[in-house]
Amino acid sequence: MATRRIALFLTAALLTLSLAGCGASVGAGSAENTEAERTEISADDAIESVETLGFVDIDGSKISAIAVRYNVDLTGADVSAEDFTITDYGLTLTDNDLNYGENPGAALRAYVNDAPAVSPEGGSGAGQYVIIETDTAFQVSRFARSYEVTMAAGVTQTGTLTTDANIITPSTAEVSNYEEVTYTGYDPNTGEARPPEYYNYAKAGTFAIAGIDGYELHTIESGTAFRATHCFDEANGQYWDFDLPYALYVPDDYDPAQSYALVFHLHDAGSMSSNPMLTLTESQAASNYASDWFQRLAKEQGLGGAIVVCPAIAEFFPMDSEHPNYELRISRDNWTLSCAAPAVWELLDELTQTYSIDPNRIYGSGQSMGGMTIMAMAAHRDNYFAGVLEISCKWGNNYNKDYPFNGVPYYDAPADGNIIWTADSDGNPTDYHNWFYLISDDNILFLNTARENVEYAFLYHDLAGADVEEVGMVLGEDSTTEARNALVNELVSRDSALGIYQVTMTGNVGHMSAWFYGHGTPACYEWLLRQTRESEMKRSKLPLDKAFEFADEQIQTEERLYKEDRENPENNVYYPTGKDGAGTVGYNSTVTALGSGAFLPPGWTPETAES
């Protein structure tokens, strides 16, 4: 073997000397080529395509890099961000759109690479790709219409690139991965189309979003959506059969011999569509639940991991030929639920029968409309959810769903013992309408903005002397993940007669950005996976299973102010003060309708509403 190695070495050495003696250059198109020996081509001819590389940040999907593919070898090119002009969603944002950040979407650096991927080393220096990394150190105050908007980008080569073999002169036109799309939404208050909006949407197959690739998309188009049947809708009192799209994450190492947690996450009303990709990309929730970190947390709890389901609820759904724009919005502002709610229950039942799910470890997670829906569902099946993570949502119930609101009558979903249970977790007969009573022993972590939802805390205090553990979180540019984690960990470590903990956010935060911060706080997820259904069943509910009564003296302080009339303070509306020892049977939460002047104050009854 040693003799063979020496022979090979000598052969290589003699070959090198022979080439050098003949004056031959080593390799075609080497760095020794002179300018005259290089071929001059235009970037218009050399750039083949543009694709974008993204991820899901706490405020939704973002581009982290743009991969520009050339049809020639770029080896030897010394490229920089200054050689390119780019367009992307971040560059369209204004200061008013940002919670923080100064150069959203701007090009940071560029390098040559041999694959359409980000390189921590700054590229391979060889290959057919230029990778342009973009600034992601910003946070928006709202999310985009679609992930296809945030993944759209265009590139113009403005500098000259000199490779070993070519001189690539600047472009005269942008190369992009998008096309202009006209979006027409519907106004839920009128049912009429809104004025058209125009967006640049990335074309299918021209982008990749990291962190959600483990999800299976069950869509109507593919024929894999869940077939829901006999689903009652409280808007019209009818039963419906339809296909419910959803995204499902099952760990790669799923083993039916082990038990798994089931996480049910539901999106808000801002991204209502039959495309489940929207719910995966509008917030960081879905990618967090599918992350190695979260799956490891589940395993530390003795589970095989966590299975995650994210239904997609369209605002206007093509139910059938007679109902092409059926209003499927799952929870409405008068607390009624659409037929999507029983459809989700059927989907959850299907998953718990199909997979090895631990019934003691089923979790709910949602923001805004999604959180509002899960809280309503928490009373449908007592202690079904082992823990609930709620962000930016209202809580409440309505005993009088059939009361005409905004001139429209509604209907009350029947408790059939199947979709909606007729007994509590101990087997005692119960009425799911007594929402405040049924959720009073639940494990709930609630993150909200100031004064967005305080009704339940007043009721629990006035009627049962129970106080909710709460912490304030002042958000801004200096609010770090570590600081938020510390606040949440301190809060949930407190002893409490209730399993309910509230984080009230103030500062540079709004309704939407609150759930950005919530899903960007790992301590919330750690708390969630520590919760069990058994812990709820061991905890006593508050003694609220009796009729609601108003206290003789109504407390009308500023903290209880619900609706202010500055010109006529005598018309101010306050959260009602309940009588100590009374319950919540018959208590109606406040009812509002977006875009409408209709209003029923907290504690209303059909009698007081008519007056």
DSSP string, 441-505: GS-EEEEEETTSS-HHHHHHHHHH----EEEEEEESTT--HHHHHHHHHHHHTS--SSSEEEEEE
Q: How far is CA 605 from CA 265, 272, 324, 399, 571, in A?
A: 33, 32, 35, 9, 18
- Over residues 38-84, the pLDDT tens digits come to 999 999 999 999 999 999 998 899 999 999 999 999 999 999 999 99
The proportion of the chain whose per-residue pLDDT surpasses 90, expressed as a percent, equals 75
pLDDT score for 478: 65
Residue with tokens 């919530």: 518
Q: How far apart are CA 313 and CA 266, in angstroms?
A: 9
Q: Rounded mean pLDDT of the chain?
A: 90
Q: How far apart are CA 429 and CA 447, in angstroms?
A: 32
Is the Cα dihedral 221, 226, 229, 231 positive or negative? negative
Q: Is residue 591 within a helix (H) or strand (E), and if so which, with residue range?
A: strand 591-592
Query: Taking a C-beta distance cutoff of 8 angstroms, is the pair 72, 529 a contact?
Result: no
Name the CA dihedral angle for 10, 13, 17, 20, rounded to a multiple of 10 degrees: 160
**In the beta sheet, which residues pair with residue 168?**
41, 161
- Over residues 151-172, the pLDDT tens digits come to 999 999 999 999 999 999 999 9
Residue with tokens 């829901």: 228
Could you tell me the pLDDT band of residue 192, with boundaries at 50, 70 and 90?
Answer: confident
- Over residues 512-538, the pLDDT tens digits come to 888 888 999 999 999 999 999 999 999
Residue 129 scores a pLDDT above 80: yes
List strand residue ranges (DSSP E) for 126-251, in order: 129-134, 139-140, 153-157, 161-162, 166-169, 175-176, 178-183, 197-202, 207-210, 215-218, 226-232, 239-244, 246-249
Residue 380 scores a pLDDT above 80: yes
In order of their start, the domains of the chain are 36-183 (2.60.40.2180), 211-538 (3.40.50.1820), 568-610 (no CATH)
- Over residues 537-552, the pLDDT tens digits come to 999 999 999 999 999 9
Q: Distance between terminal CA atoms of the chain?
A: 103
Q: How far apart are CA 561 and CA 553, in angstroms?
A: 15
Name 23's Cβ contacts closer than 8 Å, sequence gap at least 6. Answer: none
Question: Angle CA(31)–CA(33)–CA(35) in degrees, nearest 5?
Answer: 115
